Chain A
Amino acid sequence: MMYLDHNATTPLRPEVLDAMLPYLGKQFGNASSYYRLGREAKNALEQSRAVIARCIGAQPSEIVFTSGGTEADNLALRGAAHALRKKGDHIITSAIEHHAVLRTCEDLQRDGFAVTYVLVDSNGRINPDDIKRQISRKTILISLMQVNNETGVIQPVDEVGKIAQESGVIFHTDAVQAAGKLPIDVTRHSVNLLSLSAHKLYGPKGIGALYVRRGTPLRPVITGGHHEHNLRAGTENIPAIAGFAKALSLASEQMETTVHRIAVLRERLESQVMFRIADVQINGSGAPRVSNTSNMSFLSIDGESILLHLDLRGICASTGSACTTGTPEPSHVLTAMGVPASSAQGSIRFSLGKDNTEQEIDMVVDALAEITSQLRAITSLKAV
């Protein structure tokens, strides 16, 4: 099997599994309990919190554990919006956010909030001025992802963060696809809220965190006990939290070498595909991208057909658009970039990881050359 879908999820590092095992075994205590077993769980919780805080330049008290990136986004948006309801009702975000942000914004619209979805340029990047122009007296929150999951395009979060700060607006960034691929330092970014997820960086699924800058107004979404500074109730998932801390610290330590190695592999993939296969476009290639993601449109053929052929060869990749309910839904990201629907339908996302090799890249290029010529022989469309 060849795994080229690391933006979907990543395999667990063996060191991470080792860090988790004690808390799945004898050290099963509840971190809220008084006795020694509980204190051990509490120590693991707070040590993990400190490790994660250090990795992003935060204070430990500013880290709130959640069930993952989606919940972190929900807490950030719902939490800030409802806490600031008396101040205003306007939220600004981008059209290319993850559904965890977009669907939450749509739900906030049903609660009476007004949301502006800012468009991107043809390379999938936001223009900070477009966000600045939308700010009004009623604006309370801006949310912009640090890296887009489909294209890997890096968004200007530092500029937007400054704009938000100058306007006195809370700024949230979904950094789920950035962690481990770009340096994250909340002391440098003007960010109030930042979402993280463990399973995108060789950690376990079901755990994430929201960084909450001290003093940021936030109303909890999940209520119950006094966990996580009263911002997220529920008995803490200690094994996952311990694994998350281990995964993030390893990813941070090894980031520079890993990012560089993967950049070489992606260059190999893209240059060989462009050389050997006609009518391919690389979406977002004109903008700064994280080094692991490559979103390609193979014109005049359908993405799911490519994906199934890859699957039959044991190659795992993904497509942004899926023909499911009668009408195919092209990716909202590619659509926002102005990619025509028929090209978006032929788009495949490869997202490389730390264990991929040159040999694997050569094999996937061979496979793609075969698959595209086979599918182009039966297509009813002429390549553009």
Chain B
Amino acid sequence: MRNMSKEPNVKDSDCTGDRMSAGVNDWKELYSKEPEAEEEFVIPEGPLLFYNELVIDHFTNPRNVGEMDDADGYALIGDPSCGDQMKLWIKIREGRIAEIKFKSFGCPGAIATSSMCTVMAAGKTVEEAKQLTDDDIIAELEGIPEQKQHCSLLGVNALQEAIRDYERKQGGEESR
């Protein structure tokens, strides 16, 4: 026979009389409770496509696609040899983002979040646009799959970089 005494004796402490009776009482309580009317068991059903409809809308019909010759701020971020790449242009009028354009070599997640980023940034003051985060974009898109959440950084980072570019140019002009 195996010598059980050397093994940690967890089971005994879990099966003391007190605990057992407490367990039984819990069950009794559970069964005596009236089921809540609203409680309904639903087998979860995921979207048939990987992304939700709003994300797909921004992917198939991305907003603010294009380039700008006379931009006040420009950013090129990402590296096409290791994934997504994005270009973003902004025009600033009276401290607000008056116009914003982007182009992207990326997956559906990158295209949709970049599109939403431009929609959210348009019309904002520079200071407001600086506060925009990847989480804001994901929330506005009503969520994107977890493994795609990093894609939303592309748009935000491009926007911040374009704003920095604008501010550098401003600083340069003022010092002149």
Contacts and interface: CB of A to CB of B under 8 A. Distances in A.
Interface of A: 300-302, 304-305, 308-309, 311-312, 323-328, 340-342, 345, 377-381
Contacts of A302: 84, 105-107, 110
Interface stretch (B3-11, B58-66, B123-131): B58-66
A379 B105 contact: yes
B85 A381 contact: yes
Contacts of A308: 49-51, 56, 59, 108
5 tightest Cβ-Cβ pairs between the two chains A and B: A380-B103, A381-B105, A380-B87, A304-B107, A328-B83
B85 A378 contact: no
Nearest to B88: A380
Interface string B75-111: 0100011111111000000000000000111111111
Given A323-B83, A381-B105, 15 more contacts: A302-B84, A302-B106, A308-B59, A311-B49, A312-B49, A312-B60, A323-B109, A327-B82, A328-B82, A341-B81, A378-B65, A379-B103, A379-B105, A380-B105, A381-B80
A341 B60 CA distance: 24
Interface residues of B, number: 30
B150 interface: yes
B56 A323 contact: no
Contacts of B51: 308
B112 to A, nearest CB: 10
B105 A309 contact: no
Contacts of A340: 81
Contacts of A327: 82-83
Given A302-B105, A378-B104, A381-B105, A323 B49 contact: no
A379 to B, nearest CB: 5
Interface of B: 49-51, 56, 59-60, 62, 65, 76, 80-87, 103-111, 147-148, 150-151
A279 B106 CA distance: 17
A305 B81 contact: no
Nearest to B153: A326
A142 B62 CA distance: 50
A342 B51 CA distance: 23
Contacts of B110: 302, 323
Contacts of A323: 83-84, 106-107, 109-110, 148, 151
A250 to B, nearest CB: 32
Given A328-B83, A381-B85, A305 B65 contact: no
Nearest to B65: A378
A380 B67 CA distance: 10
B147 A378 contact: no
A345 B82 CA distance: 9
A329 B169 CA distance: 37
Given A305-B59, A308-B59, A378-B62, A325 B147 contact: yes
Contact of B86 (A309, A325, A380): A380
A324 B151 CA distance: 9
A214 B24 CA distance: 60
Contacts of B60: 309, 312
Residue in B80, B84, B150, B151 whose Cβ sees the most chain A Cβ within 10 Å: B80
A4 B86 CA distance: 31
A340 B81 CA distance: 7
Nearest to B147: A324
Contacts of B83: 323, 327-328, 345
Contacts of B85: 380-381
7 contacts: A302-B106, A305-B111, A308-B49, A308-B51, A308-B108, A323-B83, A345-B83
Contacts of B147: 324-325
A301 B105 contact: yes
B82 A341 contact: yes
A40 B110 CA distance: 57
Contacts of B111: 305, 378
A301 B104 CA distance: 9
Residue in A301, A311, A312, A379 whose Cβ sees the most chain B Cβ within 10 Å: A379
A380 B78 CA distance: 11
A378 B81 contact: no
B106 A305 contact: yes
A380 B107 CA distance: 12
B76 to A, nearest CB: 8
A305 B105 CA distance: 10
Given A326-B150, A378-B103, A304 B81 contact: no
Contacts of B107: 302, 304-305, 323, 328
A379 B62 CA distance: 12
A298 B76 CA distance: 22
A326 B87 CA distance: 19
